[in-house]
Amino acid sequence: MLVGGAVTWPLTAKAQQPRNDLRRIAFLAGSSSGSGKDLVGCFTSGLRDLGWIEGENITVDIRWSEGVEEKYAALVAEMASAHLDLVVVTSTPGTLAAKHALHDTPVVFIGVSDPVKSGIVASLSRPGSNITGVSNFLPQTSGKLIELLAQVAPGRTRFGVLHNPDNPGKLIELGDLQTEGKTIGIKIEPIEVRSANDFPNAFAKISQTKCGALIVLQEGVTLGGRREILEFLEKAKLPSIFQIKEFVEAGGLMSYGLNYCQHFGRGAVYVDKILKGAHPADLPVELPTKFELVINLRTAKALDLDIPTTLLATADQVIE
């Protein structure tokens, strides 16, 4: 029940009859329940491993933003009036909304690309407020995305970048990709998607601008549109790279990024520390230490691509 969908009653209603022995937290996901339930399950599994059992000593109310930036303010406002012990937020725009509205409630973020540059925390070592968490710090890997894609798609000089322009973290990554692209002679074509309704126009632009390959930045909207994105890439015969391996397991060509299940599990560690008395301002932001390369050879063969043996040798996982 916990990971299958959002709790159906309002947070404010549930707050009317609290149990004194339960810690109450809310989880604001940057995706839909269909695309994000597995990752939320990684978080709740982490809580269980640390002794926090749903219904016994903790309750977790889940809210789904579906990656739509306009929904965050209302969802966070609801949480602000619910007298919660803690709020967990995924994505940069969701965390910024929490920063503006939740001044007295501890906040743990997950999946924020650059919390310092985005203005969420004062520094990684000393967050300095009621907010801390685990950053995916994906800007440091942006150049690697182009490098890897160029190796499997030599001769292609225009790469599309599918991203949500309402997500400040993705704009930082897009800027890094454009800088790296100039260095190695590859033109970056920004392709915007703010909601599921934008995919048809985005796919049309990819074709119209004659992009030779596609980089998909990880975000609630793109995760929610995984099926549509993969279907388009298959029909267009385009090489692609993602920041999360779930796309590759579903048929995408390759991915380079952190293990998101482990990443969400690390968020549970921060929740545990804060519920046991630690202050967010004293908990340094955690950065990832390992990134994984996953390659789908079946997809490579369907695209008539030869994956360099040197690249296969460095892959963490090869799907055959």
Is it true that 11-136+259-282 and 139-257+292-319 share their CATH fold? yes
pLDDT tens for residues 220-244?
Answer: 899 989 999 999 999 999 999 999 9
Does residue 4 surpass a pLDDT of 90?
no
pLDDT of 297 > 60? The answer is yes
Out of 16-25, 62-71, 270-279, least confident range: 16-25
**35/222 Cα distance (integer angstroms):** 10
Q: What is the pLDDT of residue 3?
A: 39
Residue 66 has pLDDT above 90, yes or no: no
d(CA 25, CA 43): 13
Residue 35 pLDDT class (50, 70, 90 cuts): confident
- pLDDT at residue 20 in the model: 63
pLDDT at position 19, please? 53
Count CA within 13 A, CB hemisphere, residue 121: 28
Q: Is 12 a residue whose pLDDT tops 50?
A: no
CATH topology of domain 139-257+292-319: Rossmann fold (3.40.50)
Q: What residue segments make up the domains of the chain, in order of their start?
A: 11-136+259-282, 139-257+292-319
Instruction: Say what the pLDDT of residue 69 is.
Output: 81
pTM, two decimals, is: 0.82
Q: Which two tokens stand for residue 90?
A: 């995924």
How far out from the chain centre does Cα 109 lie? 11
Fold of 11-136+259-282: Rossmann fold (3.40.50)
Which secondary structure element, helix H or strand E, spans residue 11, and what is its range?
A: helix 11-14
Determine the longest span between alpha carbons in the chain, in angstroms. Answer: 64
**Percentage of the chain surpassing pLDDT 70?**
93
Look over the chain and give the mean of its residue pLDDT values, rounded to a whole number. 91
On the question of pLDDT at 165 being above 50, the answer is: yes
| Residue 160 to residue 191: CA distance in whole angstroms | 6
**Least trusted range by pLDDT, from 11-20, 21-30, 273-282:** 11-20
